[in-house]
Amino acid sequence: MMFLIADGGSTKTDWSIVSGNQEIDRIKTRGINPFFQTEEDISAEIRDNLVPKIKKYGSIEAVYFYGAGCAFPEKNEILRRSITHYLPVPVEVGSDLLAAARALLGRQAVWDGLWPACAGTACLVGLTVSLAVFPGVGCGLYLVEFASARRAARIRLAMDVLAGTPSIVMGLFGFTLILFLRRTFWPDANTSLLLAAACLALLVLPVLVTATCEALEAVPPSLRTTASVLGFTRRQAARHILLPAAAPGIRGGVILALGRAAEDTAVIMLTGVVANAGLPAGLGAKFEALSFSIFYTAAQYQSREELLRGFGAALVLLLLASGLLVCARLLEARFRRRWQGEA
C-alpha cells in the first residue's frame, strides 16, 4: 500500500510517497495554504505539479496533508475537495502541529500545539549557551587575570558596544550575513537554527563576560595570596582556585544568558524562526520558538482557540523564566553553604 504524506507551507510543500515504513520518493511543489489560496489555485497546483509526478508509482491508497492554514474545518474542506478531485482516495487534512505531535508521541496532541515551540526554544537556548559560555567565561577570566590595562580597556569598550546593540540590529546582521554567503561562497545558505543561535550568542556574550569579571573580582585577595605561596602559576591558580570560587557568580551569568536567549524575538524573527515548522529537524532547519509564537498569535490569531494557545505560550515562557531564577538562587545558596563549611 502506498500513501502520500504532505508537509505544506505558504512557500513550498513537500510530498512524500511512502510504502510501508519506507519513503520511496519526495516531490516538491509550490506552497499550498488554504487560508490564503482559493480552491481553484490549489487545484491548479495539484493538477500541474503533483499529479504528473506521481503517476509512475501507480495507485495511491490515501493522502495525509498537514500544513499551515489547516486549523479551520471550512479551509480543510477546500483542500480536501481539491485533492480528491484528482486523487479519488481518502484524504485527511490537519495542522502541522498535529503532525509533529503524532510523530513524537503517537496520535494524541501535546500541550495543544505548543510542543514544537517548546522543543525549538530548548534547542535554541541550549545551542546559544553552548556557543557563548566558553568564549564569555574565557574572556572574563582574561580581562581580570591576564590582560594589560590598555588591552582590557579596549575589550571592555567592545563589550559595552555589543551590550548596547539592539536585538533587531543583531537580527539584521545575521540576515545580511546569509545574503553575503549566498552571493559569494555558499549559494544555498539560508536562515536556520544555527544562525539564530550564533546571533543570540553574540547578544548574550557581554552578559557572560560581565558576570565572570564581577565574580572573579569579588574573590577574596587571600585566595590569590595563598595560591602564590603554594607555588601555583597564574594559570593554575585561575583554573583550580579562582574559577571554582567564582562559580556562583558565573552560574548566575549563565542563567541570565539563558533567560535572554529564551525571551528574545527580534533576532530570531530574521534568522530562522517560523510560525509552523514542527519539531527542529537539524541545525540547518527552520524552527519554532515560544517568544515568536506569542508575537505571531497576538498579531494574527483567527479564533479563540488560537488566542488561548498564545496565552498558554506566554504562561510557559513565564514559568521557564521563573524556574531559571529559582535554580540560580538554589545553586548560589548551596555553593555558599559549602564554601562556608555548612554543607
The answer for residues whose C-beta is within 8 angstroms of residue 334's C-beta and 6 or more apart is: 343
Query: Which of 48 and 56 is assigned the larger pLDDT?
Result: 48
For position 97, what pLDDT does the model report? 65
Percent of the chain whose pLDDT exceeds 70: 90
Instruction: Order the strands of the 2-8 sheet from edge to edge.
Output: 22-30, 12-19, 2-8, 62-67, 91-94
- Grid cell 524552527 — which residue? 287
Winning range, highest mean pLDDT, from 18-32, 33-47, 102-116, 117-131: 117-131
The DSSP output letter for 242 is I
Q: How confident is the model at residue 14 (pLDDT cuts 50, 70, 90)?
A: confident
For position 185, what pLDDT does the model report? 85
For position 341, what pLDDT does the model report? 47
Name residue 41's beta-bridge partners.
none
3-state helix, strand, coil in the chain (%, to 5): 65, 10, 25
Report the alpha-carbon distance of residue 204 to residue 162 in Å, rounded: 9
Helix 193-217 vs helix 247-263: angle between axes, to the nearest 10 degrees? 150
pLDDT tens digit sequence for 208-220: 999 898 888 888 8
Residue 87 has pLDDT above 60, yes or no: yes
Expressed in angstroms, the distance from the first to the final Cα of the chain is 64
CB 61 within 8 A of CB 4: no
Residue 140, C-alpha cell as written in the block: 572574563
pLDDT tens digit sequence for 227-271: 888 888 888 888 888 888 888 788 888 888 888 888 888 898 888
pLDDT tens digit sequence for 124-177: 999 999 999 999 999 999 999 888 889 989 999 999 898 888 889 999 999 999
CB 253 within 8 A of CB 215: yes
Residue 10, C-alpha cell as written in the block: 505558504
CB atoms under 10 Å from CB of 309, counted, come to: 22
For position 205, what pLDDT does the model report? 93
Mean pLDDT value across residues 59-75: 81
For position 51, what pLDDT does the model report? 85
For position 141, what pLDDT does the model report? 92
Winning range, highest mean pLDDT, from 34-48, 86-100, 299-313: 34-48
CB 316 within 8 A of CB 225: no
Percent of the chain whose pLDDT exceeds 90: 14
CA angle, 261 then 215 then 240, to 5°: 110
For position 101, what pLDDT does the model report? 57
Residue 213, C-alpha cell as written in the block: 569579571
Residue 340 has pLDDT above 80, yes or no: no
pLDDT tens digit sequence for 96-133: 666 665 555 444 433 446 778 888 898 999 999 999 99
Q: Which one, of 107, 123, 68, 94, lies nearest residue 290 by Cα?
A: 123
Report the alpha-carbon distance of residue 199 to residue 334 in Å, rounded: 33
Residue 91 has pLDDT above 70, yes or no: yes
| 54 three-state secondary structure | helix
The answer for residues whose C-beta is within 8 angstroms of residue 325's C-beta and 6 or more apart is: 255, 259
Q: Which one, of 215, 285, 281, lies nearest residue 252 by Cα?
A: 215
The length of the chain is 343
For position 104, what pLDDT does the model report? 52
DSSP string, 166-223: -HHHHHHHHHHHHHHHHHTT-TT----HHHHHHHHHHHHHHHHHHHHHHHHHTS-HHH
Name the CA radius of gyration of the chain, rounded. 26
For position 241, what pLDDT does the model report? 86
